[in-house]
Amino acid sequence: MKKSYFSIAFFVAGILIFTGSGFTQDETPGKNEFQTVPLQSQITHVQPMTGIVLWEQLNKKDTDAIQMEYSYMRYNDVVKEKGVFDWTVVEQKLNSAASRSHQSILRFWDTYPGRESSVPDYIKALPDYKNIVAKSENRDTGFPDWSHPEYQRFFLEFYQKFAEKYDHDPRLAFLETGFGLWSEYHIYDPEEIPGKNFPGLDFQAKYFRHLDTLFQETPWMISQDAHPEARSPFAGQPDLLNIKFGIFDDSFHLAWKPGYNYEGWEFFGLKRYEESPAGGEILFPNQERSDYVDSNWTKESRRFGITFMICEQWLRWITIDRLRQHSMDCGYKFKVTDFKTSDNSAIVTVQNTGVAPIYYDAFVTVNGVRSTESLKYLQAGESRLFHVQAGGKNPKLTIECDRLVPGQKIEYDADIK
């Protein structure tokens, strides 16, 4: 009997010692050790939500050298009666791009040289609305009456309704917004008069705070032309700079040297791209401009953290393969530098070798199981370690994102042996 009691006591003590060592039944030594998984992969396509952008109406837009298409939009195509929103024209643009496995960048304008303003007709018909027509680029141009309270009210309502419908829509990559000619945040001809043909500073501040509450997922952007103190409220209300919005520059190549454009980027913060996208447009009137941009593109896209650039004319001067390469020089680019698995979990290290972060949630995924932490805002040159509750001997690693349209895929580089 004494021997039996001794044996039982020894057995119980052994269990307590084993448990105290930190091992559980599923974590016995040798059973769940992490082993390096060989992995070979290469990025061969432009990554979603990055790259050179072509206009939606161009014939050459049906190519995998781009991932996004750009469209101007008019307010009066959506609203003709007060409180009635018909999004058919927006749906057509988004569906058209998505049919080519592309996403869209949209910008609504109310002023365009040589055209009537896109202020809804019901507002223009109000007896106290002032229909402003003046020369811009030597053409009769309609300007909105920014003194009118109904137009101001409508403007805020429009973006509220837009955000309610499209903030979580994968067909929409980014939204550009602003005032003045082409919504580029300036009127160089005729005179820019805040509160008349251009919104006053108080309304602008109200508008930006409004957008900050509306868009929870879709990044929105304004032009670097918003930097002059007399034109916008940012200098007078510097807390507005804390709002998360991106910057676009429709003469981006001019920012490569000291001057007005560079001052705009500097004013809003040269590191703003770490949380919000940087983009814009470059026009190509001749071979000289093309060669200049072509030779400097890789360096400058990295310096400014460029995610996208509209370059609808560039194909006059360079090949589609060259365009594809420039497109791949934009935005994020992921590299898996370490991949280890056990029987039921994985540890993955990912580096961003691109020039900017991704601005949407994307997840390291093993055998269909996603990591809890996202790749969102992983900065250029930085690495992040991810834990995934899936493993095994032949694991499949992918990067999954819910903000993609059919046909899009986030690729990664890897050379793990």
Domain coordinates in residue numbering, the chain: 32-43+333-416, 51-328
Give the per-residue pLDDT at 7: 37
Give the per-residue pLDDT at 31: 53
Give the per-residue pLDDT at 61: 84
For residues 401 and 389, what is the distance between their CA atoms, to the nearest angstrom?
18
Task: Kindly report the average pLDDT of the chain as a whole number.
Answer: 92
**β-pairing verdict for 278-280 and 220-223:** unpaired
Residue-wise pLDDT tens digits, 83-131:
999 999 999 999 999 999 999 999 999 999 999 999 999 999 999 999 9
Give the per-residue pLDDT at 29: 37
Task: Report the run of H or E that residue 20 belongs to, with start and end.
Answer: helix 2-20
Residue-wise pLDDT tens digits, 219-256:
999 999 999 999 999 999 999 999 999 999 999 999 99
Q: Are 223 and 251 in contact (CB under 8 A)?
A: no
Residues of the chain with pLDDT under 70: 1-32
| Backbone dihedral angles phi then psi of residue 260, each to the nearest 5 degrees | -55, -50
Give the per-residue pLDDT at 348: 98
Does this chain's domain 32-43+333-416 share its CATH topology with 51-328? no
Give the per-residue pLDDT at 285: 94
Fold of 32-43+333-416: Immunoglobulin-like (2.60.40)
Angle ∠(101,103,109) on CA atoms, nearest 5: 145
Instruction: Report, at the CATH architecture level, how domain 51-328 is classified.
Output: Alpha-Beta Barrel (3.20)
Q: Are 364 and 347 in contact (CB under 8 A)?
A: no
Give the per-residue pLDDT at 246: 98
Give the per-residue pLDDT at 58: 72
